[in-house]
């Protein structure tokens, strides 16, 4: 086995699917950054450099897939909550379709 | 941003250091973007510290920050992207210079843009030269075709078969050309930024 290649491939797949994962977690939910990361970790067991999620969220916001709002807290340190936009919802559905098709194909060829 | 208060002075120092690193990395950005990034990461640290069950404050903070990653690494793509956005919006040469510097490792195309701007800068230099040595600088043609935009000694022109075609019009033609090219290149850069893949 080529461990080096496998490692690189895994990190590429992770990087490529992080947006898909984040959008899935945000579907029907409203989370602030830390919470979102905890959810991703809980559901996927994927080790991610947590800090990279913030630039990602920023990009999703620029693409109009998510919106955010600051909510004041008693502590004086506000939370920034993210939700999907209607565009985000629609895009996510298309992404899922693509993903499931891909999964089917891979299952078929990896028998 | 409201800073977090820690019980241990060591934890406070580690936190302060991390915050000042974020500030340093985001320094090229405008105030709103800087504050936004700082507040969000500060919130992450605050929520993380509350969530941690361990007894040791210093250990909790170090773990949290380690998982978050070095500001220099996690924020680099974000800063590069935002700076480019700002630069192509304002047409400010200083912003453009900094944006290209930040993005130069993101692809050959930015090296190409840097070269385009450098060429333009060369044109500005030519105007300055024209003012200093009016007889040496010009747009030279050879047998009716473009040969050189630059400097040639007046006494060698005949030997080389060159004629200067712009004359006194050199600066009046070059200056608007530089401005038009500058706007064009910057619009191209904006187009490139917008077409950037996710």
Answer whether A49 sits within 8 Å of B69, measured CB to CB.
yes
Candidates B46, B67, B69; nearest CB to A77? B46
Answer yes or no: do B183 and B150 share one domain: yes
The DSSP-derived string for chain A is: --HHHHHHHHHHHHHHHHHHHHHHHHTT--EEHHHHHHHHHHHH-----GGGHHHHHHHHHHTTSEEEEEE--TTS--EEEEEE-HHHHHHHHHHHHHHHHHHHHHHHHT-
- Mean pLDDT for the stretch of residues A79-107: 97
Joined together, the tokens standing for residue A75 give: 């502590």
Residues of the domain holding B63: 9-74
Residue A46 has pLDDT above 80, yes or no: no
Query: What CA–CA distance (Å, rounded) separates B160 from A44?
Result: 73
Query: What does the pLDDT read at residue B196?
Result: 59
Reported as a pLDDT band with limits 50, 70 and 90, residue A44 is confident
Per-residue burial over B27-49, b if 16 or more Cβ lie within 10 Å, else e, is ebbeeebbebbbbbbbbbbbbbb
Residue B194 has pLDDT above 50, yes or no: yes
Answer whether B48 sits within 8 Å of A34, measured CB to CB.
yes
Q: Whose CA is closest to A89, among A33, A29, A39, A13?
A: A29
* Phi, psi dihedral angles at B15 (to 5 degrees): -65, -50
Whether B185 and B113 have beta carbons less than 8 Å apart is answered as yes
Whether B77 and A55 have beta carbons less than 8 Å apart is answered as yes
Answer yes or no: do B66 and B100 share one domain: no
Residue B7 has pLDDT above 70, yes or no: yes
- Mean pLDDT for the stretch of residues B167-172: 88
Would B147 be classed as within a structural domain? yes
- Mean pLDDT for the stretch of residues A34-48: 86
Answer yes or no: do B69 and B159 share one domain: no
**Least confident piece of the model among A80-94, B59-73, B131-145:** B131-145
Find the angle CA(B86)-CA(B181)-CA(B89) to the nearest 5 degrees: 15
Q: Whose CA is closest to B176, among B130, B135, B120?
A: B120
Would B119 be classed as within a structural domain? yes
Answer yes or no: do B104 and B54 share one domain: no
Query: What does the pLDDT read at residue B181?
Result: 92
- As to burial, measured by CB atoms within 10 angstroms (0-12 exposed, 13-18 middle, 19+ buried), residue B112 is exposed
Would B170 be classed as within a structural domain? yes
Query: What does the pLDDT read at residue B69?
Result: 92
Whether A83 and A111 have beta carbons less than 8 Å apart is answered as no
Would B169 be classed as within a structural domain? yes
Query: What does the pLDDT read at residue B198?
Result: 42
Would B79 be classed as within a structural domain? no
Answer whether B37 sits within 8 Å of A54, measured CB to CB.
yes
Query: What does the pLDDT read at residue A29?
Result: 94
Answer yes or no: do B124 and B179 share one domain: yes
Would B1 be classed as within a structural domain? no
In the sheet that B145-151 helps form, which strands lie side by side, from edge to edge?
A: B145-151, B137-142, B162-164
Answer yes or no: do B99 and B64 share one domain: no
Query: What CA–CA distance (Å, rounded) separates B172 from A26?
Result: 58
Query: What does the pLDDT read at residue B155?
Result: 83
Candidates B39, B48, B51; nearest CB to A78? B39
Answer whether B39 sits within 8 Å of A80, measured CB to CB.
yes
pLDDT in tens, B77-134: 888 888 888 888 888 888 998 898 888 888 888 999 999 999 999 999 999 988 888 8
Decide which of B56, B74, B92 is a domain's last residue: B74
Query: What CA–CA distance (Å, rounded) separates B198 from B178?
Result: 33
* Phi, psi dihedral angles at A68 (to 5 degrees): -140, 155
B49 touches chain A (CB under 8 A): no
Nearest CA in chain B to A20: B198
Answer whether A80 sits within 8 Å of B43, measured CB to CB.
yes
pLDDT in tens, B8-44: 999 999 999 999 999 999 998 999 999 999 999 999 9
CATH class of A18-109: mainly alpha
Answer yes or no: do B69 and B124 share one domain: no
Contacts of B52 in chain A (CB under 8 A): none
Contacts of B51 in chain A (CB under 8 A): 34, 38
pLDDT in tens, B44-73: 999 999 988 778 999 999 999 999 999 998
Would B106 be classed as within a structural domain? yes
Provide CB contacts within 8 A for B43, sequence distance 6+: A32, A33, A34, A77, A78, A79, A80
Q: What percent of chain A has pLDDT over 90?
A: 76
Find the angle CA(A18)-CA(B108)-CA(B106) to the nearest 5 degrees: 30
Helix (H) or strand (E) holding B161: none
Interhelix angle B9-26/B57-68, nearest 10 degrees: 20
Answer yes or no: do B152 and B122 share one domain: yes
Joined together, the tokens standing for residue B162 give: 């060159």
Answer yes or no: do B124 and B29 share one domain: no
The residues pairing with B188 across neighbouring beta strands, listed in sequence order, are none
In chain B, the number of structural domains is: 2
- Mean pLDDT for the stretch of residues B136-157: 86
Contacts of A63 in chain B (CB under 8 A): 198
Query: What does the pLDDT read at residue A81?
Result: 97
Model ipTM? Answer: 0.89
Residue B141 has pLDDT above 80, yes or no: yes
DSSP code for B141: E
Answer yes or no: do B99 and B143 share one domain: yes
- Mean pLDDT for the stretch of residues A79-83: 97
Counted across chains A and B, CB pairs separated by less than 8 A come out at 62
CA distance B42 to chain A (A): 8
């Amino acid at each position: 086995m080529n461990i080096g290649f496998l490692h690189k491939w895994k990190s590429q797949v992770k990087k490529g699917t992080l947006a898909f994962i984040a959008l899935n977690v945000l579907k029907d939910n409203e989370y602030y950054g830390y919470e979102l990361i905890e959810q991703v970790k809980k559901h996927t067991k994927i080790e991610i450099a947590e800090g990279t999620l913030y630039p990602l969220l920023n990009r999703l916001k620029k693409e109009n897939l998510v919106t955010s709002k600051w909510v004041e807290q008693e502590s004086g340190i506000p939370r920034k909550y993210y939700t999907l936009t209607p565009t985000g919802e629609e895009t996510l559905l298309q992404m899922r379709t693509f993903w499931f098709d891909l999964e089917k194909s891979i299952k078929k060829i990896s028998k | 941003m409201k800073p977090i208060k820690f019980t241990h002075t060591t934890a406070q120092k580690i936190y302060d250091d991390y915050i000042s690193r974020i500030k340093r990395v985001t320094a090229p950005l405008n105030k709103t973007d800087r504050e936004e990034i700082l507040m969000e990461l500060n919130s992450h640290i605050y929520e993380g510290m509350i969530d941690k069950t361990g007894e040791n404050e210093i250990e909790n903070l170090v773990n949290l920050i380690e998982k978050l990653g070095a500001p220099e690494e996690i924020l680099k793509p974000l800063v590069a992207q935002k700076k480019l956005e700002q630069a192509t919006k304002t047409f400010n040469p200083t912003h453009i210079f900094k944006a290209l510097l930040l993005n130069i490792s993101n692809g050959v195309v930015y090296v190409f843009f840097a070269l385009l701007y450098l060429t333009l800068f060369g044109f500005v230099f030519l105007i300055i030269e024209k003012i200093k040595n009016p007889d040496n600088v010009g747009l030279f043609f050879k047998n009716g075709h473009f040969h050189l935009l630059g400097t040639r000694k007046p006494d060698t022109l005949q030997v080389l078969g060159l004629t200067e075609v712009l004359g006194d019009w050199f600066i009046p033609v070059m200056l608007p050309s530089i401005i038009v090219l500058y706007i064009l290149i910057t619009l191209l850069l904006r187009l490139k930024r917008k077409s950037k893949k996710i």
